[in-house]
Amino acid sequence: MKPLAFYVDSPFYFEQFEKADFILREFPDGESYLKINADVKNREIFIFNSLNNPNQKILPLLFLVKYLKEQGTKHITLASPYLPYMRQDKIFNPGEVLSSKYFAELLSDHIDKLITVDPHLHRYKNLSEIYRCENKVLHATNEIADYIKHNIKNPIIIGPDAESEQWAKEIADDVGAPYVIAQKKRMNDYEVDMLIPGIEKFKKNTPVLIDDIISTAQTMIKAVSALRILGFAPPVCIGVHAVFAGDAYENLVAAGPEKIITCNTIKHSSNQIDLSDLLASAF
């Protein structure tokens, strides 16, 4: 029997699963209503639910998983191509809550396996440091490198901060392009300073900014304007996860990049790099 797939909020669809029939909707007061129209007993389950806007999505997800467990499902895999709550990976100031760890514990208590793409691993070196459930981490670096090879001539890859070196270097090596890493200082959610040392000698290249998450887009916006001040052509901005909080996308467009390209871990009009095959490689 094919595993049963619940597509909760997913740009993906896979032939190898049977699609589960269910209703998830909100009551007028914001509470969630869930109805599962499938026999789930002894079934292997895949839930496709990218957890951007996690506070809204986590409760219906937990209701679904609790129901499935109660009905005697065999194994539950959550495929959340974007994994939230990874950036509070340290107690920066006394009294702060280490939400990355608590969120990981909450999910690990309820699912058997997690599949995700490029989680923000900075101070944690791997997901198992906080996720107790089995987990599989996928990387979009090959797909991003392929996009660059086919669409951008003579690129210079720019990682906007120290954390980004892990993927900027790998993508640059794959493409056969040079790379530089910017120095970013974040003052608060919306204030970011950026310097791009060593970039001047690449004036003839097409600048390509690559980051994992685009949230407020301030990181990308500051990089776009630093390049403009230095007299570069407008850059191509590539992000894995199109979080785009509030007006972030419009603000980034207004900053004047050549293009904004994202992977489809979160549904967004900028999705141009399809990760279906990458995700399917984990099943």
Q: Which is nearer to ligand R5P, 140 or 192 (CB)?
A: 192
Site string for ligand R5P, 64-93 (x = CB under 6 A): ------------------------------
What does the CA dihedral 92, 129, 87, 141 come to, rounded to 10 degrees?
140
* Span of 39-47, 56-64, 65-73, 216-224 interacting with ligand R5P by CB under 6 A: 216-224
Beta bridge partners of 155: 206
Write out the binding residues for ligand R5P, residues 144-173 only, by CB under 6 A. 160-161, 163-164
**DSSP labels, 100-156:** HHHHHHHHHHH-SEEEEES---SSSSSGGGT--SEEEEE--HHHHHHHHHHH-SSEE
According to CB under 6 A, which one of 211, 260, 264, 268 is a site residue for ligand R5P? 211
Q: Which is nearer to ligand R5P, 9 or 161 (CB)?
A: 161
Q: Say whether residue 215 binds ligand R5P (CB under 6 A).
A: yes
State the nearest-atom distance from the C-beta of 187 to ligand R5P, in Å: 11
Q: Count the neighbouring beta carbons within 10 Å of the beta carbon of residue 209.
A: 26
Residue showing tokens 């619940």:
6
According to CB under 6 A, which one of 216, 262, 264, 270 is a site residue for ligand R5P? 216
According to CB under 6 A, which one of 83, 196, 214, 255 is a site residue for ligand R5P? 214
Q: Which is nearer to ligand R5P, 43 or 120 (CB)?
A: 120
Of the candidates 62, 64, 128, 63, the one whose C-alpha atom is nearest the C-alpha of residue 101 is: 128
Of the candidates 263, 279, 268, the one whose C-alpha atom is nearest the C-alpha of residue 171 is: 263
- CB contact set of 198 (below 8 Å; sequence gap of 6+): 180
State the nearest-atom distance from the C-beta of 235 to ligand R5P, in Å: 15
Q: Count the neighbouring beta carbons within 10 Å of the beta carbon of residue 243.
A: 22
According to CB under 6 A, which one of 156, 217, 238, 278 is a site residue for ligand R5P? 217
Q: Which residues bind ligand R5P (CB under 6 A)?
A: 160-161, 163-164, 192, 211-219
